[in-house]
Amino acid sequence: MEPGERSRRSTVVVAGDDLLFSDRIAARLAQLGYRPVVVRTADAFHEAVLHGPAAAILNLASHRLDALAAIRRAKADSRARGVPLVGFCGHADEARRAAAREAGCDLVTTNGAVAARLERLLGSLLSAPL
């Protein structure tokens, strides 16, 4: 495996405008041996997924980042559609989670699940065929 390929396979994009939660996820990813790349806009997200990261995690409740549009755009682009996407939001926001699934998000979960079981969620997502 080439060095650049190894870097891409260990990169996880974290998209959202909640600085505290995004930074917390990024710090946990780094502890798990991933290289987190935090982005705050839909355009930055799309650019990041074009580089073939191992996965991308989106805060579905972001105010400035239209996560549903970002998911649709990534899944419509042949260069990005293979990147596994994890979307998360509050446990009571069932409509937003359903909309993310419909948009093509590979795994949709709650804030609490991402905070408590990030390693397990990524492991199951990265081992599952998409």
- Nearest in space to 70 (alpha carbons), one of 30, 13, 110: 13
DSSP 82: T
Helix or strand holding residue 20 (H, E):
helix 19-31
DSSP 61: T
Q: Is 129 part of any domain?
A: no
- What is the number of domains present in the chain? 1
List pLDDT tens digits, range 30-75. Answer: 999 999 999 999 999 999 999 999 999 999 999 889 999 999 999 9
Q: Is 126 part of any domain?
A: no
Q: Is 77 part of any domain?
A: yes
Q: Do 88 and 116 meet the contact criterion of CB atoms below 8 Å apart? A: no
pTM: 0.89
Surface-to-core class of residue 116, CB atoms within 10 Å of its CB (0-12 exposed, 13-18 middle, 19+ buried): exposed
Q: Is 10 part of any domain?
A: yes
